[in-house]
Amino acid sequence: MQSKDVKNTVEVCFSPHSFPLYANEDSIVVVIDVLRATSSICSALHYGVERILPVASVLEARNYQAKGFICAAERHAQKVEGFDLGNSPSEYHNPKLKGKVIVFTTTNGTQAIRVAREAYRIVIGSFVNLTVLCNWLSHQHKNIILLCSGWKDLFNIEDTLCAGAIAQKLEQTNLFEAHHDSTFAAKSLYELAHKDLIQFMENSSHFKRLEKFNLAEDVKYCLTPDLAPVVPILEGNYLIASKNK
């Protein structure tokens, strides 16, 4: 049992490119891709999808599709032609998907999952599962790395805001502490933005990208806390919903 005087750490990594600087095989990595992969994963499992198989490439997804799997693919914020599903959370609010296995590939989120594969455990984070995720993490007695998926290995606002929210909530339990400036910066950004995340995001690059594709409702959903209270955990090759709240 962990001593009350010894705290675990929670740190924010701004992009997969920087992950080797933070990587620790004994840490839990929370992969965050708010707009939209990790929000869609939470939504899918919350609404009854049994398992999700994240794959890095469109080619891998096509190979699974040829075997009869239901496949979702997104690149550059748009659904890839010929696939069953894209990367909008609302696509997974479908009773026909209940109990199904879905193969899933996206521009950023599934790449971040691949980068973190050697971690002690990988879980999925977003605003839509914020409270249940933080409650789950607070009972694990492990160091936490909050891995922002970013946009093609670059920093982005939305993942950093979410990481800041998670770090803040974990520190408030008095079980965690942070040492790196990246974590302080993420918490500070969230504190600045939290009263109106959508308004704060309006000048961000990905907000504008999604707005161009008429995906404003996706943004609203993805920035709303606790709409999909589930903790997706990578077990083997598949993401499943944790049974432990």
Q: How far is CA 227 from the centre of its chain?
A: 14
pTM of the model: 0.95
pLDDT at 235: 97
Q: Is 122 left (phi over 0), alpha (psi -120 to 50) or beta?
A: beta
Q: Encode pLDDT of 148-163 as tens digits.
A: 999 989 999 999 999 9
Q: Encode pLDDT of 179-200 as tens digits.
A: 999 999 999 999 999 999 999 9
pLDDT at 21: 95
Closest CA to 48 of 104, 103, 95: 95
Q: Encode pLDDT of 51-72 as tens digits.
A: 999 999 999 999 999 999 999 9
Q: Is 38 left (phi over 0), alpha (psi -120 to 50) or beta?
A: alpha
* DSSP-assigned beta bridge partners for residue 121: 28
Residue type, 58: V
Q: What distance in Å separates the CA atoms of residue 229 and residue 76, rounded to the nearest whole number?
A: 27
* DSSP-assigned beta bridge partners for residue 188: none
What is the mean pLDDT of the segment spanning 110-124? 95
Q: What SS3 state is found at 95?
A: helix
pLDDT confidence band for 1 (50 / 70 / 90): very low
Instruction: Judge whether residue 115 has pLDDT over 50.
Output: yes
pLDDT confidence band for 114 (50 / 70 / 90): very high
